[in-house]
Structure 1
Amino acid sequence: MKIFLATGNKNKIEEIKKIFSMENTEILSIKDGIDIPEVVEDGNTFEENSKKKALEIAKFTNMITIADDSGICVEALNGAPGVYSARYAGEHATDEENNKKLIANLQGIENRKAKFVCVITLAKPTGETYSFTGEVHGEIIDEPRGEYGFGYDPYFYIEEYGQTTAEMKDLKNQISHRARALAELKKNIDEILK
Structure 2
Amino acid sequence: MARRLAPGARLVLASHNNGKLCEIAELLAPHGVDVVSAGALGLPEPEETAPDFVGNARLKAVAAATATGLPALSDDSGFCVASLGGAPGIYSARWAGPDKDFAAAMARVNREVGANPDRRAWFTCALCLAWPDGHTETFLGRAEGSLVWPPRGTKGFGYDPMFVPAGGTLTYGETDPAEKHATSHRARAFAQLLAACFA
- Find out whether 1:106 has 2:138 as its counterpart: no
Give the TM-score taking structure 2 as reference length.
0.91
Q: Which residue, out of 61, 66, 87, partners 1:80?
A: 87
Q: Secondary structure at the match of 1:164?
A: coil
Give the TM-score taking structure 1 as reference length.
0.93
Instruction: Label 1:77 to 1:19 Cα distance change in 2 as closer, same or farther (>3 A).
Output: same
Q: Which residue, out of 139, 148, 156, partners 1:141?
A: 148
Identify unmatched segments of 5+ residues in structure 1.
none
- Find out whether 1:167 has 2:174 as its counterpart: yes
In the alignment, the residues of structure 1 paired with residue 155 and residue 197 of structure 2 have an alpha-carbon distance, to the nearest angstrom, of 29
- Find out whether 1:6 has 2:6 as its counterpart: no
Q: Which residue, out of 46, 52, 70, partners 2:53?
A: 46
Q: Secondary structure at the match of 1:20?
A: helix
In the alignment, the residues of structure 2 paired with residue 24 and residue 100 of structure 1 have an alpha-carbon distance, to the nearest angstrom, of 40
- Find out whether 1:36 has 2:43 as its counterpart: yes
Q: Is the 8 A contact 2:141 2:188 kept in 1?
A: yes
In the alignment, the residues of structure 1 paired with residue 18 and residue 96 of structure 2 have an alpha-carbon distance, to the nearest angstrom, of 21
Cα RMSD between the aligned structures?
A: 1.5
- Find out whether 1:121 has 2:128 as its counterpart: yes
In the alignment, the residues of structure 2 paired with residue 27 and residue 183 of structure 1 have an alpha-carbon distance, to the nearest angstrom, of 18
Q: Which residue, out of 40, 43, 58, partners 2:65?
A: 58
Q: Percent identity?
A: 35
Aligned residue pairs: how many?
A: 190
Identify unmatched segments of 5+ residues in structure 2.
1-8
Q: Is the 8 A contact 2:144 2:166 kept in 1?
A: no
What is the identity, as a one-letter code, of the residue corresponding to 2:25?
A: K
What is the identity, as a one-letter code, of the residue corresponding to 1:110?
A: P
Superposition deviation, residue 190 in structure 1: 3.9
What is the identity, as a one-letter code, of the residue corresponding to 1:118?
A: C
Q: Is the 8 A contact 1:72 1:116 kept in 2?
A: yes
Superposition deviation, residue 106 in structure 1: 1.1
Q: Is the 8 A contact 2:155 2:173 kept in 1?
A: yes
Q: Which residue, out of 27, 32, 45, partners 2:35?
A: 27
Partner of 2:4: none
Superposition deviation, residue 158 in structure 1: 2.0
Q: Secondary structure at the match of 1:121?
A: strand
